Amino acid sequence: MVIVIQGSWPLESQEELQKRFQSLPAVPDNMTLRGPYTCATQDGLRSIAIYEFDQSKFAESIFAVANRYSAYIGVPGFSYDLRICAEPGEANRMAEST
């Protein structure tokens, strides 16, 4: 499974965001982080990060990512979108169990 996070913020917040990024807790050993990858937009900057983890560590992984992104609370203009994604077989099983 993966957690895909897309964040955005204005250029004026880059320095504060970078400062907080440097103090983030480490990603747990059971997860692999791809990114973050950042690009410029008309409104500032956007980033994408992909956290890979085993479904058996679902709750622990969600908590770890939420804990990392709570560091950005209060950064002016920062927002993010978090999506939990799975391979088709896993996604079908998750949909059937709800």
* Residue ranges covered by each domain of the chain: 2-96
Whether the per-residue pLDDT at 60 is higher than 60: the answer is: yes
How far is the CA of 54 from the CAs of 3, 62, 73, 75, 92, in angstroms? 11, 11, 27, 31, 16
- Cα 23 to Cα 42: distance, rounded to the nearest angstrom: 28
Residue 92, pLDDT > 80, answer no
The pLDDT, as a whole number, for residue 8 is 96
Give the pLDDT of residue 25. 86
* Phi, psi of 15, rounded to the nearest 5 degrees: -60, -45
18 pLDDT higher than 70: yes
Does a cis peptide bond (omega within 30 degrees of 0) precede residue 36? yes
Q: 2-96 maps to which CATH number? A: 3.30.70
Residue with tokens 């409104």: 43
Is residue 88 over pLDDT 80? no
